[in-house]
Chain A
Amino acid sequence: MEVFAFSLFNGILYGMLLFMLASGLTLIFSMMGVLNFAHASFFMLGAYLAYQISAYVGFWPGLVVAPLIVGVIGAAVERWGLRPVHKFGHVAELLFTFGLAFVIEEVVQLIWGKVPMPYDIPASMNFAAFSWQGLDYSAYRLFMLVISVAIFAALFLFIAKTRIGLIIQAALTQPNIVSALGHDVPRIFMWTFGFGCALAGLAGVIGGNVLGTEPAMAITLGPIVFVVIVIGGLGSLWGALVAALFIGIVDNLAISYDLSFYPLFAVFGVERDVTGIMQDLVRLTTASIAPVLPYFLLVLILIVRPRGLFGTRDV
């Protein structure tokens, strides 16, 4: 029971981190009509900047400043990078974001090198928040959960209740009309892009010290974020939330329970000590296939429901 509760908790936490990345990515997708391949790179930038800032003035200023810097960098990328490329069509935009991901990775390696950074959990949060049946749960993880849930709530309120949120919603589907009503749509898009990047940066700040701050972190997480928004339905915030939580929880449960697939094979009369090609299959466990699970779900959803769980248009 406690194993279940803890892995559920971790799953929700991982899912909320994925959502922070996916929400920005899915907003940017609705707006531009193309996927931003460099999105996870902004997550990485957030982690590195937070590490650097925390080295000088501590974790807490970094928590605020790093996402702001990432957001401004994102807005600048939209304004001077993507916008001029826009007139050449979606393929050009796609290639631009693809190239940008490499550029950011190289720049990060140039500045900080290839080895992982010692970006640690802040000392003030490095204790067990509670203990249950002999298992400790770290206060920092609890803090991550609080932050990510707060961001999620703020994001929904912002989009649904504020005037700017309404303009964004309307501009996602009918940018021309929104312009004709006197709203500066390109500027709204620029700040939405920056805001999405800032969310990814914040995920980097609070996740970088748990998941590891190293040059490959963007490439590791990036594809999973794509899976999340495709499963949830491109452009849907609710979809991104549900898919992120689902993947987070399934992933954690698969790893902590580590069930063997042998019983499945036993039904067909396969012996446990079988040799040859079956040998490896029999030894498969849920933990060993956990990294593939999101992609398996992706393929499944593309076959069964190409627009994703909550999407309104096909991929």
Chain B
Amino acid sequence: MLDVRGLHAYYGKSHILRGVTLQVGAGEIVGLLGRNGVGRSTTIKAIMGEVEPRGSIKFKGREIAGMKSHDIARLGLGYVPENRDIFPTLTVRQNLLLGQKSARQTGRWSMEDLFDLFPALRERADTEGGVLSGGEQQMLTMCRTLMGDPDLIMVDEPTEGLAPQLVETVAELLNEMAGRGLSILLVEQKLTIALRISARVYVMGHGEIVFEGTPEDLRANEPIRREWLEV
């Protein structure tokens, strides 16, 4: 589904990504782990075309490196940014409508489906997004991207700062997505849910992939965890 090879990216003169290679298969949940500042977010921004990428990024067999963000999104690549970047002055319903790529788009997810999954959003459908709680905003950002019916979704730090109960809700939603055939690239720092729901994980360090394997492999690999993950 997604095949990234030798991806480099720069912020000004600093070399942030130094040849990242990773794959996400159809219907697979893949975790991208690592400490702060190692380039996890930059990796997905480069895939999304928000940071200029060098190297090869193939999505559904098509080279997307160098394409514009909105064209990449229209190919079916979804991105849920960190920081719960909703549109604060628009209502929940309007936020969701903006997730659709055109007014008539339909797909795996309708607004009713999402409201069924998150009754809290239905109750607050006509409330401004800015007044929602952190957890509700997180659900809204994910649902907004789902409205665009992506085939692969990249989710940046969805559990950051959430209460344990909400973390479970996020995990359930990700499983629900995978159940409907979506591929997921999950970026996480604290390993809150990634080890539990991912089929495979990558660990990043200093702009490179330093480990690739199943969650069990990672649990067994004490040196990698100590050097690249644990604080």
Contact = CB atoms under 8 A, between A and B. Distances in A.
B50 A180 contact: yes
A303 interface: no
Nearest to B105: A182
Interface string B50-87: 10000000000000000011100110000101000101
Interface of A: 163, 166-167, 169-170, 173-174, 176-185
Interface string B165-197: 000000000000000000000000000000000
Nearest to B79: A180
Contacts of B31: none
Given A180-B70, A182-B148, 17 more contacts: A163-B103, A166-B90, A166-B97, A169-B89, A169-B90, A170-B87, A176-B50, A177-B87, A179-B69, A180-B69, A181-B144, A181-B145, A181-B148, A182-B74, A183-B70, A183-B98, A185-B70
A174 B129 CA distance: 14
Interface residues of B, number: 22
Contacts, number: 55
B48 interface: yes
Contacts of B101: 181-183
Contacts of A185: 70
B90 to A, nearest CB: 6
Contact of B98 (A170, A173, A176, A184): A170
A173 B86 CA distance: 11
A182 B90 contact: no
B68 A179 contact: yes
The 6 closest A-B pairs by CB, nearest first: A182-B73, A179-B69, A182-B101, A180-B79, A170-B87, A179-B70
A176 to B, nearest CB: 6
B81 A180 contact: yes
B99 interface: yes
Contacts of B41: none
The listed residue with most A CB atoms (<10 A of its CB), out of B70, B74, B79, B148, is B70
Contacts of B85: 174, 177
Given A179-B73, A181-B145, A181-B148, A173 B87 contact: yes
